[in-house]
Amino acid sequence: MVRVICDSTGDLTPELIKKYDITIVPLNVHFGQETYRDGIDITADEFYRRLVSGGVHPTTSAPAPGTFLEAYHSLMQVTDEIIVLTISGGISGTFESALQAKNMLENPCNIEVIDTKLTCGGLFLPALRAAQAARQGEKLDGVAAMVRDVLKRTRAYMIFDTLEYLLKGGRIGRARALLGSMLKLNPIITLEDGVIETVAKTRNRTRAKDELFRLVDEAGGVEDLVLETATAYEEMEEMFNRFTTILPPGRIYRSRVSPVIGVHTGPNVLAASFIARK
């Protein structure tokens, strides 16, 4: 059976990871000289507490090729077909690490490494689809083709109450035009071709949430959707209830933005990612 590897920025829930036996390769968070593996060595609650408390601003790094190599060796004990889905290569070196690890293998194994050009829910949904297809007996070529089709229809949007964290983390991308006095706006951003782009420039949180709903509602139909936040749980539930007016609750997932992504988004991020209907 095809086995699925996803990096930790996909924010897959523990329940789904266990259900579909998905292997998670963690990125790293650094507070000065302290290094933590995302989702392993530091809890999200502890991370966000430290993030807002001031002091040293954290940084992030991609997993070393050796981390992927360990994952490959482990899975090669039970399969000869592996698909790897990673965060956008435009904002992280994770994709390159996964490729390097593949090239380091001494024993043959069919490994497909895909740069999703997305992250968070935009990685969550294709990885979940891959795991579901593998469970149904699809071979590697079929799983990879399905993932690429899904990625063409996957959209991911994030609301920010400030771009301060993106600026500090060096991931501002083409949203740089919003800097200056606009740091206090509530912009909506996306990843376009793996690079951060601005979608809307809303002046308060309520308008930002209305725009987020509109972007999904006007997509022409949605197959699956995932909502995420770091700490704004009440707002996430509010958006969940709104989205149930256009999508069955069973097709809406909820998750938490990982510390690695939280470094760049801050604690009040609110995200919606979805697969548009064909």
Same domain, 45 and 173: no
Same domain, 197 and 99: no
Start-end of H helices in the chain? 14-20, 44-52, 65-75, 94-104, 121-135, 140-152, 164-169, 205-217, 233-243, 259-265
CATH (domain of 187): 3.30.1180.10
Same domain, 129 and 14: yes
Same domain, 15 and 132: yes
Same domain, 144 and 161: no
Same domain, 16 and 57: yes
Which of 131, 152, 173 delimits the end of a domain?
152
Same domain, 161 and 126: no
Same domain, 92 and 162: no
Which of 92, 123, 152 delimits the end of a domain?
152
Using pLDDT thresholds of 50, 70 and 90, give the confidence band for residue 236: very high
Which of 152, 181, 207 delimits the end of a domain?
152
Rounded Cα distance, 224 and 253, in Å: 8
Residue 134 is part of which domain span? 3-152
Into how many domains does the chain fold? 2
Same domain, 115 and 133: yes
Q: What is the pLDDT of residues 6-37, one digit of tens each?
A: 999 999 999 999 999 999 999 999 999 999 99
Rounded Cα distance, 166 and 185, in Å: 13
Q: What is the pLDDT of residues 114-137, one digit of tens each?
A: 999 999 999 999 999 999 999 999
Would you say residue 94 has pLDDT above 90? yes
Rounded Cα distance, 229 and 142, in Å: 32
CATH (domain of 63): 3.40.50.10170
Same domain, 160 and 113: no
Same domain, 177 and 224: yes
pLDDT of residue 193: 85
Q: How far is CA 94 from the centre of its chain?
A: 12
* Contact between 16 and 133 (Cβ < 8 Å): no
pLDDT of residue 180: 46
Q: What is the pLDDT of residues 49-85, one digit of tens each?
A: 999 987 788 999 999 999 999 999 999 999 999 999 9
Same domain, 176 and 105: no
